[in-house]
Amino acid sequence: MDFKLLAKQYKEEAVELLKKLVQINSILDPTTSSEKTPFGKGINDCLEFFLSTAKQDGFDVLNDEGYAGRVTLKGTSNESIAVLGHLDVVPVDTGWTYPPFSAEIFDNKMYGRGTMDDKGPTVASYIAMKILKEQGIKLTKNVELILGTDEETGWRGLAHYKERYSLPEVGFSPDADWPLINGEKGIMRIVLKGLPSREFKLVGGNIFNAVIGKAKAITKVDLCDEFAEYLSTNNLTGEVDFVNDEYIYTLNGVTAHAMVPENGINAGTHLACFLNKYFNHPTLKFINNCIHLDYNMCKLGMKVTHKVMGIITNNVGIMDFNENETKFTFDIRYPVGFDFDFFKEPFTNILNIYGISYEVVEQKEPHYIDSEDFLVKTLYNSYVKYSGDTKNKPKSIGGGTYARVLKHGVAFGMESPNEASLAHMTDECIDLDKLEEAIAIYCDAIYELGK
294 is catalytic: no
pLDDT at 308: 82
Catalytic residue among 64, 88, 117, 150: 88
88 is catalytic: yes
pLDDT band for position 162 (cuts 50, 70, 90): very high
pLDDT band for position 319 (cuts 50, 70, 90): very high
* DSSP annotation of 166: P
Is 272 a residue whose pLDDT tops 90?
yes
Better pLDDT: 110 or 309: 110
List of E strands, 121-236: 142-148, 170-173, 181-184, 186-194, 200-204, 214-219
What are residue 116's phi and psi, to 5 degrees? -105, -25
Closest-CA residue to 126 (of 439, 361, 365, 411): 439
pLDDT band for position 1 (cuts 50, 70, 90): confident
> Which secondary structure element, helix H or strand E, spans residue 42, and what is its range?
helix 41-56
144, 72 contact by CB (below 8 A):
yes
pLDDT band for position 180 (cuts 50, 70, 90): very high
CATH architecture of residue range(s) 186-364: 2-Layer Sandwich (3.30)
What are residue 248's phi and psi, to 5 degrees? -110, 115
Average the pLDDT over 117-139 and give the result: 97
CB half-sphere exposure, 132, CA atoms < 13 A: 30
pLDDT at 207: 92
pLDDT at 372: 94
Is 164 a residue whose pLDDT tops 80?
yes
pLDDT tens digit sequence for 33-48: 999 999 999 999 999 9
d(CA 286, CA 204): 17
d(CA 168, CA 155): 17
Average the pLDDT over 3-32 and give the result: 98
Is 167 a residue whose pLDDT tops 80?
yes
Is 399 a residue whose pLDDT tops 80?
no
Catalytic residue among 93, 117, 150, 151: 151
pLDDT at 145: 98
pLDDT band for position 67 (cuts 50, 70, 90): very high
pLDDT band for position 418 (cuts 50, 70, 90): confident
Per domain, the residue ranges of the chain are: 3-185+367-450, 186-364
Question: What b-and-e string marks burial along 249-281, b requiring 16 or more CB atoms within 10 Å of the CB?
Answer: bbbbbbbbbbbbbebbbbbbbbbbbbbbeebeb
pLDDT at 172: 98
Instruction: Kindly report the number of other CB atoms within 10 A of residue 312's CB atom.
Output: 24
Q: Give Cα separations from 93 to 45, 160, 230, 253, 422 (angstroms).
A: 22, 30, 22, 10, 14
pLDDT band for position 66 (cuts 50, 70, 90): very high
Question: What pTM did the predictor assign?
Answer: 0.80
pLDDT tens digit sequence for 339-383: 999 999 999 999 999 999 999 999 989 998 989 999 999 999 999
Which of 3.40.50.880, 3.30.1490.190, 3.40.630.10, 3.40.50.300 would CATH assign to domain 3-185+367-450?
A: 3.40.630.10
In the chain, % of residues over pLDDT 70: 100
pLDDT tens digit sequence for 210-256: 999 999 999 999 999 999 999 999 999 999 999 999 999 999 999 99
283, 321 contact by CB (below 8 A):
yes
How would you classify residue 109: left for phi > 0, otherwise alpha for psi between -120 and 50, otherwise beta? beta
pLDDT band for position 400 (cuts 50, 70, 90): confident
